[in-house]
Structure 1
Amino acid sequence: MDTPTTLHSRSIPDIPADPAKEARTAGWVAAIAGLSLLFDGFDLTVYGTVLPGLAKGGSNALGWWATGINAGQPIPPAVAGQLGSYALIGVMIGSLFAGAIGDRIGRRKLIVAGIAWFSIGMFITAFAQSIAFFGVVRLLTGLGLGALLATAGATMAEFAPAGKRNFYNAVVYSGIPAGGVLAALLGLALLAHIGWRGLFMIGASPILFLLPMALAKLPESPRWLVSRGRLDEAVEISRRTGIPLSEHQQFGGVPVAEDLHLEQKTGFAGIFSGTYLAGTLFLGFMSFSGLLLTYGLNTWLPVIMGGHLQGAGMGADAAKQYGLVFLLLLNGGAVVGGLIASRVADKAGPQRVIITTFVLAALALTLMTFGFPVALLLAFIAVAGVGVLGTQVLIYGFTSNYYSTRVRAAGVAWCSGFGRLGGIFGPLIGGWLAAAGVAGETAFYVFAGVALFGGLMTVLVPRPRKGLSDDEQRAVDERARHVVTD
């Protein structure tokens, strides 16, 4: 029987497994990537937390173009929706840019640069005096956030132990809704004392502790180094971290696509090749649906529910506080539900679980339109959090493991970047509905329809067999044929 595993005419050594080192390294990577996305989620959710106050105007509000020009005036709903979308436009651009270069320059550089970029952006935003400047800096900050979103999942997929990939990806991407929880909690506790500018300063703090942690503890992916032909560096990092050099060392000695010299397209060319094309398109629409729901609800849920509760006879101040509680439950439900669902996904496969959570979201959002007591509404929004933000966590994990190493960053970037179109439309749709005076019930029906569309897109994704990417499965089949003929 042949003993393949060659790359560029050199053998990939079978370095002995070291589960203790591998688990320790995976833990550090998960902590750094997860904290990065926690502040990513904080940044993208804090706007919804401070929006009710900004929209009302006041002494700390923004002027239109400069200090003193219409300062203190309420922000119209349509303009508020546009401001909520600017950061997401930046995230989309940053994600796609990271995907274009991430499979060429590596994971570590992009994560370090993304942390520094968005921290500085949040710091500058805290000093904005006009709506125009606020919007521009929010867009620029989104570039760094997009680079992190596109890279964190690809990195974690290459460091996670076999059989726990969905769980580790869920831990990392649960940082996004956890950041939403943090934004809601700090909004409840501190907004009245430090204002929206103080909350944005908190969002800039990762440059003080997370950036040094990433520089010290985040290694480059040895599998990425192998895919780029940098075998000596990959061997050194593999021995130090316990991370296998290639997928075949986690799948019983089966060589992967890179080892068999199968199609070698990288980046976006690879994910739009015949091997991945259908899956790439449907994964993009899944992410579009999930992010439209995520950012539409994170931006407008406090406003929608505040108005709904006031219409039911609750006082304005109490309704505002309940609106933030709903935001807290939406994100908290996503963190808990996403982690539980990811453990199920490691056993049953992520595709079935994602279909289920999309349907749960549609059901919960529909039930929000009925005149149930507040306690039941709180429960429904927690379930919606599982089906909305929790689903997006699972989508990122599904995408990270759907592609092989040579195109993984581009695949996750496509999922994040194209999906960001949904994130852009979410706040805009909420703003349009609010400006048109449409009742909250209609908005919930619109969002429920989006959830059902996302479930349909999930059904249509070609399912990778045995939990491997398509190329890895092709390698397994090829190797099996060699074994039979030998």
Structure 2
Amino acid sequence: MASTRQDALRRRSVTWIVSLATVGLVFDGYDLVVYGTVVPLFLRDPGQLGEVTPAVAGALGSYALVGVLVGALLAGSVADVIGRRKVMLTAYAWFSVGMALTALATTTAVFGLMRFVTGIGVGALVATTGALVAEFAPAGRKNLANAITYSGVPLGSLLAALLAILLLDAIGWRGMFLIGALPLVTLLPLAYLKMPESPAWLASRGRLDEARAVAARTGVAISEARAADVPTAESVTAQRAGFAGLASRTYLLPTVLLGLLSATGLLLVYALNTWLPELMGRAGFSTNGSLAFLLVLNGGAVLGALVASRFADRYGPKHVVAGSFLLGALALALLTVSLPLGVLLAFVAVVGLGTSGTQILIYGFVATYYRTNVRSAGVAWCAGFGRLGGIGGPLIGGLLIASGLALNSIFYVLTALAVFGSLLTLVVPKAESRTAPSARGGGLPTPTPAPSERLVPTAE
């Protein structure tokens, strides 16, 4: 009976945590695509912010991503030290206020500045969410839990496209950005009440009484700690936390490769989410028809990532990510063929899996790759360094369009990038030595601690 109550308590806690984290990333995805939905308006109507050329539009799209890079790296510096919860609550407030102030901009300079400021909050959130979810998710379900959570990004993108179709003419671009400020009065209060600190993080900082208290309150499993999570004098020296730990011999090479992998994925994500409506408009589709492609793109990303994450939990995420990239490359290449509308939409959905969906899988890959005291820094590095690709996405898209390159050639460039992402995934080394996987085959297993180390409750 007690075990049943404990299981029910844990399920309820994990449901709250995953739900809140997902809603937070919905607004990240909304922020990503809401700009893409108003770019055609800026290009055609100088009365909105002044004259906006394709090159200027690409630059404005990139300012937010520079902020995301800064925010992610800052969060990685502190989330492994002060905790995941504090960083996430601050991020919710920060990007909400930023979206509200962006809606008040009257010039491209102010608009770009506020996009940068908003991006800092978004980056801090993306960098921290994966670590918290991975530390509460049950073994064998970590990739699935992260896939559900990071599906919030394409869901938010889908929401932005849908609301633009329904509301843009009525409320204008300023109203669209004000919608992005709603977490300040909705999500933030709920998260303050319902989102606990990670017991695994508390234990890794030596705060064992607090870890046990949170574990009891949330119903998380009490299991043997990993040696890396026991804060002894020896482990402090031998296994450094945060970014210092990423620079160790164990993690340096894979961290560089995972950062490049994330950058490739985000280049594709931001290029398509910023410029797909414009590209499809040039292919002859109406404004609403072009926005509908964004709905299909991000819908395919959500469904594809949720299905693929189950394979990632069972067989490991590495080859699933590589295969997802390849599927995206194939679908991008087929967009250059004259196809019936229904078939074209199906291929756009597969492109969603191979770009935004693959990026979801990458976050799960990274969150389960690192040990607890460097996990937040690892996710932050991939979210932050990866934003270099995100910054390049809108810029490269704008430059390709401004150069007059043929539409098919633009899709071939994106195809080559997806193939590169697949090849890059395959050269990421295996994670540090661990014991055999669980019988269910889920995720990365943990090393067996010495008897003297079997002291700490964790959420893993």
Q: Do the structures match in fold with TM over 0.5?
A: yes
Q: Which residue of 2 aligns with 1:305?
A: 280
User: Cα distance, 1:376 vs. partner?
Assistant: 1.8
2:228 partner SS: coil
Structure 2: distance between partners of 1:283 and 1:20: 36
CA contact (8 A) 2:25 2:150 kept: yes
User: What is the aligned counterpart of 2:268 among 270, 288, 293?
Assistant: 293
User: What is the aligned counterpart of 1:113 among 90, 107, 117?
Assistant: 90
Q: Which residue of 2 aligns with 1:349?
A: 316
CA contact (8 A) 2:227 2:449 kept: no
1:445 to 2:412 alignment? yes
User: Where do 1:31-430 residues align within 5 Å?
Assistant: 31-59=19-47, 61-63=48-50, 73=51, 75-244=52-221, 249=223, 253=224, 255-259=226-230, 262=235, 263-309=238-284, 318-430=285-397
1:18 partner SS: helix
TM-score by length of 1: 0.87
Measured on the aligned residues, the alpha-carbon RMSD in Å equals: 1.9
Structure 1: distance between partners of 2:381 and 2:4: 35
User: Where do 1:8-47 residues align within 5 Å?
Assistant: 18-47=6-35
User: Where do 1:447-466 residues align within 5 Å?
Assistant: 447-464=414-431, 466=436
User: What is the aligned counterpart of 1:476 among 436, 442, 448?
Assistant: 448
User: Cα distance, 1:304 vs. partner?
Assistant: 0.7
User: Cα distance, 1:370 vs. partner?
Assistant: 1.4
Bigger Rg, which one: 1
- Which portions of structure 1, spanning 4 or more consecutive aligned residues, are displaced by more than 4 angstroms? 465-468
1:372 partner SS: coil
Which consecutive residues of structure 2, in runs of 5 or more, have no partner in the other structure?
439-443, 452-460
Measured against aligned partners, the alpha-carbon deviations of 1:20-58 in whole angstroms (never above 9, x if no partner) come to: 222111111101111000001101110001111111115
Structure 1: distance between partners of 2:258 and 2:139: 23
Q: Which residue of 1 aligns with 2:403?
A: 436
Instruction: Name the CA shift for 1:474/1:110 in 2 (closer, same or farther; >3 Å).
Output: closer
Structure 2: distance between partners of 1:402 and 1:257: 13
CA contact (8 A) 1:107 1:151 kept: yes
Structure 2: distance between partners of 1:17 and 1:450: 49
User: Cα distance, 1:82 vs. partner?
Assistant: 0.2
Structure 2: distance between partners of 1:172 and 1:111: 14
User: Cα distance, 1:407 vs. partner?
Assistant: 0.4
User: Cα distance, 1:473 vs. partner?
Assistant: 6.6
Aligned length: 438
2:227 partner SS: coil
Structure 2: distance between partners of 1:17 and 1:415: 38
Structure 2: distance between partners of 1:225 and 1:217: 17
Further displaced range: 399-408 or 255-264: 255-264
Structure 1: distance between partners of 2:139 and 2:166: 41
Q: Which residue identity lines up with residue 448 of structure 2 in the other structure? A: V
User: Cα distance, 1:474 vs. partner?
Assistant: 8.0
TM-score by length of 2: 0.92
CA contact (8 A) 1:153 1:412 kept: yes
Q: Which residue identity lines up with residue 296 of structure 2 in the other structure? A: L
Instruction: Name the CA shift for 1:418/1:467 in 2 (closer, same or farther; >3 Å).
Output: farther
User: Cα distance, 1:440 vs. partner?
Assistant: 1.6
Structure 2: distance between partners of 1:415 and 1:333: 23
CA contact (8 A) 2:225 2:449 kept: no
Structure 2: distance between partners of 1:18 and 1:405: 24
Measured against aligned partners, the alpha-carbon deviations of 1:435-482 in whole angstroms (never above 9, x if no partner) come to: 1111221111111111111111110111235469xxx97843878xxx
Structure 2: distance between partners of 1:176 and 1:411: 19
Q: Which residue of 2 aligns with 1:68?
A: none
Q: Which residue identity lines up with residue 41 of structure 2 in the other structure? A: G
CA contact (8 A) 1:334 1:385 kept: yes
